[in-house]
Amino acid sequence: MVTATVGLRGLSLCTLSLPILRSAKIKLPIHSFPTSRSLKPLFSPYNPTILRGFPSFCASPDVNVEATATATPATEAENSQSADDIKNAANLLDIRVGRIIKAWRHEEAYSLYVEEVDVGEPEPRIICSGLVKYMPLDLLQDAKVVVLANLKPRNMRGVKSCGMLMAASDASHETVELLMPPDGTIPGERIWFGTEDDKDSQPEPATPNQVQKKKIWESVQPHLKTDASCTAMLGEYLMRTSAGVVVCKSLKNANIS
């Protein structure tokens, strides 16, 4: 039996009836010509060629709204889990109350102060801070500060810096204020996030190598801010000491780093 193959290029398909095509045993050729393709997949709005080449104007706004509404519970659950992960990561940071014993200008870097800071260890730590542009030197002398103590030491123009003073800054980074522990705290006390009861559930801090390898500080820092009352927060969790919460002087809704 001979099967006839008929080229349909240039032929109007609407003039052909399907029964005639079936009875004639016509096999539609597979070419690159658009008219040789099956009409349904070609002109369907879900054809991937069309979707890749053109923006879709067929989606109903109502469909999108329903899809978003349906996805909301999952999104909230993900956010909740993410907040827990962030808090768990923050608990691995060794954030302590410190007291600056003395401070001076770095001899080789005009933008840096060098501070000798009591963080409750047998010897004070040397910390370099880029605060020259933002506050006078006398403001640092004998100041209570918040120190991130489990960062790897860094050589800063010949001075080994072993920690970081934590501060709040406005969006333009033109105003910077050091975080302040409340009166009654002592150098070396570890700071935590959450309620008063969360203090006893703090894990041991990560080692500096772990903090660097797992990028713990990088994952936590974007979520540190002050609220409308200048209180330091991790998301919705208060930054606490045994004597009360940590604050800055005047910056509201500011970033902390």
- Domain boundaries, given as residue ranges, for the chain: 83-256
Residue 116 has pLDDT above 80, yes or no: yes
Instruction: Tell me what the mean pLDDT of segment 143-147 comes to.
Output: 98
Instruction: Tell me what the mean pLDDT of segment 170-174 comes to.
Output: 94
From the number of C-beta atoms within 10 Å of its C-beta (0-12, 13-18, 19+), residue 234 rates as buried
Residue 237 has pLDDT above 50, yes or no: yes
The candidate with the shortest Cα–Cα distance to 226, out of 164, 175, 185, 190, is: 175
Instruction: Kindly report which listed range (25-39, 76-90, 158-172, 241-255) carries the lowest average pLDDT score.
Output: 25-39
CATH 1.10.260.40 for domain 83-256, yes or no, is: no
Listed in order, strand segments (DSSP E) in 40-153 are: 95-105, 113-118, 125-129, 144-148
How far apart, in whole angstroms, are the C-alpha atoms of residue 223 and residue 234? Answer: 6
Average pLDDT of every residue of the chain: 79
Instruction: Kindly report which listed range (3-12, 94-103, 171-180) carries the lowest average pLDDT score.
Output: 3-12
Split at pLDDT 50, 70, 90, the class of 224 is: very high
Enter the tokens of residue 190. Answer: 């570890």
Radius of gyration, alpha carbons of the chain: 32
Split at pLDDT 50, 70, 90, the class of 83 is: confident
The candidate with the shortest Cα–Cα distance to 219, out of 74, 96, 94, 87, is: 87
Q: Which residues contact 56 (CB under 8 A, 6 or more apart)?
A: 45
The pLDDT, as a whole number, for residue 211 is: 97
The pLDDT, as a whole number, for residue 181 is: 98
Split at pLDDT 50, 70, 90, the class of 75 is: very low
For residue 53, the tally of other CB atoms under 10 A from its CB is: 8
State whether residue 222 is helix, strand or coil.
helix
Q: Which residues contact 178 (CB under 8 A, 6 or more apart)?
A: 131, 135, 143, 145, 146, 165, 166, 167, 248
Instruction: Kindly report which listed range (10-19, 89-98, 229-238, 239-248) carries the lowest average pLDDT score.
Output: 10-19
Residue 159 has pLDDT above 50, yes or no: yes
Residue 53 has pLDDT above 50, yes or no: no
Per the CB < 8 A criterion, the answer to whether 205 and 94 are in contact is yes
How far apart, in whole angstroms, are the C-alpha atoms of residue 253 and residue 246? Answer: 14
Q: Give the predicted TM-score (pTM) of the model.
A: 0.69
The pLDDT, as a whole number, for residue 82 is: 85
Per the CB < 8 A criterion, the answer to whether 118 and 101 are in contact is yes
Q: How far apart are the first and last CA of the chain?
A: 82
